[in-house]
Structure 1
């Protein structure tokens, strides 16, 4: 019997499963690919695909913002370089700023203590200031440009080799400035100088370098000259106070005239109330020594004793502190200044000597006192030291004669105040040496 061409079903455990050919094995039932499944797939695809453009847009915007900020922050700013307006980006170094603007400087040299060049260009590379502040080399290297800076660069300084040093002091001397004048005052107080002897550690050279300038004590001789030629004159009286002094004060008050009284310390001690009355009436008191010796004949202790006792007596009686002296007999030499040890600041002479001490008669006193008077004149008279009746009679005539010529009578301090060339401390009548003053013991070159 011929074999049957019908296929028999394949049996499995429990149930027969229809056999499929290869094409049927890839058949997809319609129920598994319906419309609902397609829409869901499209929605899922849509959600996944829409995130990418958003992210890209945000990244682009961030990059644009960062770029804009960078451009803004690094835009060129204006500043000045050696007084020329330039532009540079913030953060630019000093060397780049110089190079960009064609500015070059020369480095200093490395030199010996004596100034010999040991290495060209071995000194500071440059000097730089920013907004008025000088920069160190390290600060110059770290500097970065900022808006509005004022930058100055110049050639570098030389650098001196290391050295050892020995220091010596230079003592001030006393010198005179000027030929003549009724005022002799301390125009400069003395100060010690210092000189270093340096020995170079590389070159072996030695050199002397002044590290502190010596200042000599300078005594200035001067004729007072009121600014603008103002007609001012100073009446001065020596040797008081005495029994005549109050009469002088009464005459001066009557004519609204001021004067200066150079008083002896011992007389002030004997008549303290009279000395005080001089000050109370608006006049000036100053020292005429203590006992009226010839100061040029005294040693240092004697000169200083006469000055200190005279000044102290005036202070005790009147409350006035002064360092102004009229030396007895008008004698006060350079050597006397040395012996004074700086106790006085001003020695006062005169331009008109009334010669009342001779008692030549009233008319002679008036003539001598008024002859040749010019603005700034200083008239010498006395209110003590002997009979003064002639002076008391002559004084009103002297005042009237000069007032008629347009002169005003002032104290010595007031006369000095009118002269702009006199130092202010001297004008006070009580100038004192600064704390670092060293009084000289030797005379210098005249």
Structure 2
């Protein structure tokens, strides 16, 4: 019997904590939008979508390039340098007075998280022994909790001190960058494989049908997710809800989404990746409309369940892609956590335009239909045996 490598929980913990901060920063710009509108009444939904998308696109579309590079080279320094770079760029967005410069800073900030994610997720994969799916789900869940903390922490800060308070938000980035510098896995843990480009292309071609379905699912889900982060704060403001109350609702959706991601990882181990992805996405659309069409505690309950259902497949789609191209895990992470999400982020600009022309309610309704579409695309994924079933049969 082969001895399984020892799981390094302390290093996985540092990487997961860093992921939480990275994704808190990734949900930074949407929290600024109500305050930007208060400063400039001519700030439109389209401008808001472009600002958020500029970060999403650069943080996502270039991730496969980082992933390919990391599969060959394994540069550990990208996790702490990427984190610090993103923190610095975003901390400057609140003190500039030019919209164009703000978009440039947001685009540059995205490169930091593009460098972090493929490297960090591959480190977790290597350090996780035989429990890769569950521990990657935990790593992803920390990121989702970071998203949830964004509105909870940033909105009160901006409410109290204005957008100039963005300058102090560089401090957590500095602290976490130092933690990664000293405690992330060393180079000998992640040395790279120097796989020729021809072999990578061959691997992608052989799994092209499955990867296309997975990327399609993630792109549509990302469009729904980024669209909600962008437009729900504006929708709540149009309904005369305070910024703080609106941030609490967004936090509830994201927090239950983080929990749903962990639960989804466990469920997919027992019943298979495809079943979990299809079922959770299709279920989330009626739950979102339940939130939209009800009031009070019932409405909040629907929003919580919808958030959990939408993000139940978050880590599962990453694992599914890594199973499809097992020799290029960082590239798979870049394609799923990055490129596919960037496609969705780019499309948010069109959702913002819909909101400007036909109103926020129409745009939000379209967003709520998107998970249903993603679930239907997931039907074209390859059905693989559940990981739990494989382990039991191997005994």
* TM-score band, normalised by shorter chain: under 0.3
Considering fraction of residues, name the structure with more helix.
2
Greater relative CO (CA pairs within 8 A, separation 6+): 2
Considering fraction of residues, name the structure with more strand.
1
Query: Which of 1 and 2 has greater Rg?
Result: 1
Give the TM-score normalised by the residue count of structure 1.
Answer: 0.18
